[in-house]
Structures are given as C-alpha cells and as structure tokens.
Amino acid sequence: MVSNRRRWASRIGLAVIVIAAIDALAVEPYAVAIAKHEIAASVAAPLTVMHLTDLHTSGFGRRERRVVEAIDELRPDVIVVTGDVVDGGSLEPARELFTRMRAPLGVLVVRGNWENWSPPGDEASFYASVGATFLVNEGRLVRPDVWIGGVDDPMSGDADVDRAMKGAPDGALRVLLLHSPGSFATFADRVDLAFGGHTHGGQVRLPFVGPIWTPPGSDRFVEGWYTSGRARMFVSRGVGTSIFPVRFFCRPEIGAITIRSRP
C-alpha cells in the first residue's frame, strides 16, 4: 500500500512538472495580456498611452502579431517603447513590427541595456525609416499639454533627465521614458509620470514568493505602479523574454494607460 502511494505521488509530481514546463516554455511566453489602467493628471483632454517594453524580437511572430492586434483594438494616442527592442547587433528583425505601429501622436523609443551592450548601428536612422522617433536624453512636445522625454538606459548608458526635460513648457505633463527603473527616486522631483521596463516582472515567479531573480538596475521596482513624491512610475512586465525563453506565473503584457483630466 505504501509503495502504491509513493508510486502515485511520483506520477502526480512528474505530471505537475511536465505541465509546468509546457506552460513556461510553450504557453505563457505567448499569452500576451493587455494591462489597462486609468490615472488622473493635469492634462487638457484624455490621453491613451500604449507602453511596450522588452520586445526582444527576432522577427514578426506571435507576440509581434498580438502587439499589432492590440494597437488596432485600443487605438492609442501615442505609443512608447522603453528599450530592449532586440538583443543587439541589428534592429532589422523589428522592422516589420515597427512599420505596422502607428499612433496619431507618434511612436517614441528609448534605448535599453541590450542595445548598449551590443550596439545595433545607426538607431536614429532605423527608427526614422519606420516612422518612429528615437530619444536619447531629449524630448518632444507631443501635444501642447504633454511633454515626453526619453533617456539613455540609466544602468548601462548615460542618462540625463535634465536634458530630456529641457524645453518642457510650464504646466505641461512631464513624462519620462527609461529602461532600467532602479533610479526612480533620483529623478522623481523632475517628472510627473515615468514608464520603465527591464525587469520582465521577474519572468519566472513562484506563488506566494514572487520573482526568483530580477536583473541589476531593477532595485525594488518589479512591475506595476510606484510613487515617489509627486511622481508616478509604471513598470511593465514586457512582451518578450531574455536569456531563457520562459515565463512562469508572469505573463507578458502590453500596457494601456489612459490619462484623464484631474477633477
């Protein structure tokens, strides 16, 4: 009887491991969720921001198709991409995706650590060729009441928030795009809203435990919303995977943040 129980326990344990492995390798990495959020801020009219990060694309596949479907579904006013578009070397694998990404106020992109570690050549020219704007310590007035600045990756590059915010009109919502979120407290006094990535939400999470590892440059910022002073930051779990092509209890996501006028 004891032997039979052990045999059944072993079989059940093996089945659980197999199911978890299938989920982590073949299901969850492609089950891209849309994370919808609403916040209030000093804007003249509502603004919907689609936030993409950590695409780690190698070509136009299932995840990239989901991004395009989300754009068609949500019709955002502006799309922001906070780094690690590719794993370095060339941005060409991202060309088809970016040619399909359109929003009335534009597509704005910043650099991640992978682009710094393995520079993909003339990034500005590539993004211009696909109708996107590449921001490295600079900003754009996308609407009279909204300034979006972007910085080099704070962990692997040379981020300059002051330069990114230079030119922002008084009273405009000051939005910062960055990749690694760990330095949030150091610039929170100069922005109203920030979007970051880098962490992948941990990529592999255990129930009741959380992520088993986050990359350097994350600090305590893993996913979701954080506040420092008057500033808020949204850290996305990202779309792709890095190093190991797995996700467990950590679905990839596309952020859809609607900013409404503060009463």
pLDDT at 1: 57
Query: What pLDDT is attached to residue 26?
Result: 74
pTM of the predicted model as reported, rounded to 2 decimal places: 0.94
* Residue 263: per-residue pLDDT: 77
Give pLDDT, residue 43: 98
Angle, CA 156 vertex, CA 158 and CA 194 arms, to 5°: 70
State the Cα–Cα distance between residues 57 and 48, nearest whole angstrom.
24
Q: Which helix (H) or strand (E) holds 161?
A: helix 161-165
How much is the pLDDT for 89? 85
What are the 10-residue block averages of pLDDT along the chain, 263 residues in total?
A: 66 63 76 97 98 98 98 98 93 98 99 95 95 98 99 98 98 98 97 99 94 95 97 98 92 99 87
What counts of helices (H) and strands (E) characterise the chain? 7, 14
How many CB atoms are closer than 10 A to CB 171? 10
Kindly state the tokens that stand for 103. 């929003």
pLDDT at 17: 63
Closest Cα to residue 142, out of 170, 103, 195?
Answer: 103
Task: Select from 197, 216, 203 the least CA-distant residue to 245.
Answer: 203
- How far is the C-alpha of 31 from the C-alpha of 236, rounded, in Å? 15
Amino acid 16: pLDDT? 61
